[in-house]
Chains A and B, each alone.
Chain A
Amino acid sequence: MARLNLVQAINQALAQEMERDKDVIVIGEDVGKDGGVFRVTQGLLDKFGPERVMDTPLSELGIIGSAVGLAAYGMKPVAEIQFMGFTYAGLEQLFSHAARIRSRSRNRFTCPMVVRTPYGIGIKPPELHSESTEGLFCHMPGLKVVVPSNPYSAKGLLTSAIRDPDPVLFLEASRLYRSIKAEVPEEEYTIPLGKASVYQEGNDITVVSWGTMLHRAAEASEDFDCEIIDLQTLRPYDEEAVVKSVKKTGRLVIVYEAARIGGFGAEIAALVAEEAFEYLKAPVVRVAAPDAVIPMARLEDHYMPSPERIRSAFESVMRY
């Protein structure tokens, strides 16, 4: 089995879905000849031609807004937005239209589209290129939010996202694009949206994480008996898997790189407070970024939760 990095795995999923369904098209800035700023769409233009892989004007609202019309008419657009911070220009299109056209038209019109975008800290880019605001999108009914943590899951999740009948925001950890490899089957496969994956079984602490931070949490867990849950899909998320694990371990640490207040970790903490309170042996701990704007490159290592901070959270719940 081939060992692929995240970029290659996503590229393979795109190519296979385009092969399988002629309505799947790729649109975005620099996705054609240039193959995308991270080269995720490399080779697709040559393979599928200029009517399937289309460079658009530099226009995020236009990309997401026209994808709504494309999808409603029967295409399956996979739109690339170069960085998560640039999706903000298209938020109204995502929130007020893509996410609710099914409901507003009572199923008459739907919006099967995928918006792919890199997120998170770790490649020392300019400002607004390291956003991790998944919580914003997770608050919007009608959208789905997917964050793969490795090449294997990225391929299966993207395949599911493209085949999904509803709009999906697909967040790709820029830090992981080329830093990890995994065995990825050549043939197509799907990983269902809304299901978590148990990255590592354990008995003392349930660790819930996604994307880049999953690896950091795993690295920090060496001296502890942690059950690490890779959430994979944040909306709708696998509540059952989280609750089940906490009932077993009695402890919960949520590890993510977004600003703490109102972040997605709060949702998980609240769920456990509601549904597994009597099983808890220690308070729930969120290891998140400070409630502050993401700094530029020089300070980003201090912003992102470090393995030391995660370890000390594990110690605190064990000591309690």
Chain B
Amino acid sequence: MTETPTPLWEVFIRPRNGLSHKHVGSVHAADAELALQAARDVYTRRGEGTSIWVVPSAAITASDPDAAAEFFEPTADKIYRHPTFYEIPEEVGHM
């Protein structure tokens, strides 16, 4: 007998109104509705959430760890991109 593996879903939970959804983990489920329920049962048992997203793990395109050097290292010496790099003139006050 062959068994198809149950699809994997990534779970995102919004902790409170106004905050954004955060990745919390993954669940196995046959379809989206059961994935939502599994996420509810696994990840919101202690009142963690007010909203859940589930996304098929297969739908996520991830960056290649082997390409990390070309993806991320070029930003390392561009410290002028950080707002803290600039001196704000006194007259501006608080931004």
Whether A and B are associated in the same complex: the answer reads no
A-contacting residues of B (Cβ < 8 Å)? none
